[in-house]
Amino acid sequence: MLGTTGIETIEIVRGIVDNTKPKLVIAIDSLCSKNIDRINKSIQISDTGIIPGGGVGNRQEELSEETLGVPVIGVGIPTVLDAATIVIDTLKNCEINVSENEIVEKMKLNNFNFVVTPKEIDSLIENMVLLVSEGINSAL
């Protein structure tokens, strides 16, 4: 939200919570995966909230019961990963022994550590939206 509106997520959600007085907030966010195989293939659910931007170095204030005054269920879906993860996984699949820390440091040093997502991300997100929304509707 910050990149689109210039307003931190916590401020927008806090305003909604203050005005509507919900009993619960369900916060859904993308996650940065440390494994290629987990992209859009897992869902993380937590009762401790969520930290927007935490996985990609753009950490914002957490959405939690402590910050919002109501319980927060965090739902995270791995949709992105950093380029170092792709390099490390590729080298491992080629059975090349690598030092993960060394790869990450070299990529950071050369400004090559991009955050990337699959090219078919739009259709993957549509599928996950249906899955998560049906799960929430069934649970509630």
Identity (one letter) of the amino acid at 72?
V
pLDDT at 59 (0 to 100): 61
Q: Coil, strand, or helix at residue 81? A: strand
- What does each of the 140 residues of the chain score in pLDDT, given as a tens digit? 555 677 888 899 999 999 999 999 999 988 888 888 888 888 999 998 888 766 555 667 889 999 999 999 999 999 999 888 888 888 988 999 888 888 888 888 888 778 889 899 999 999 999 999 999 999 88
- Report whether 63 contacts 52 (CB < 8 A): yes
Domains of the chain (ranges; CATH) run 2-119 (3.40.50.1450)
CA distance 76 to 55: 11
pLDDT at 78 (0 to 100): 92
**pTM to 2 decimals?**
0.77
